[in-house]
Amino acid sequence: MAALIDPPALCPDLTIRDLLALVEAAWGGVRAADAPRWAGMGAAALQCLGLAPLAERFPHELSSGKRLLVALAVTLARHCSRRPRQVSRRSRR
């Protein structure tokens, strides 16, 4: 599960493809067994959101709606753990 609370700042000097590669590398704390599962999540997110043709563009070249979709793709490209970090209400009782 991933959350997009506030859109992340998009690096103005990186193309969308380079930004997603940077996010994948920075959040790449993936166990070896899970690595194939998470490799290429940025490209998959671009494809799923219909942004693949815009991958070589810079953020300032996109409309505000497309930038929000890129922010969502960045969120989806990050590795997340299988277990939620918040404690459920049942365990607080």
Q: What is the pLDDT of residues 6-44, one digit of tens each?
A: 766 788 899 998 888 888 777 765 554 554 444 577 888
Phi/psi at 41 (nearest 5 deg)? Answer: -65, -35
Look at residue 88 and tell me whether its pLDDT is greater than 90. no
Give pLDDT tens digits for 45-85. Answer: 888 899 999 999 999 999 989 998 998 888 887 766 555 55
Give this prediction's pTM.
0.67
Confidence (pLDDT) at 43: 82
**CA–CA dist 84, 8 (Å, integer):** 21
State residue 25's pLDDT score.
76
Q: Is 63 helix (H, G, I), strand (E, B) or coil?
A: coil
DSSP state of 78: S
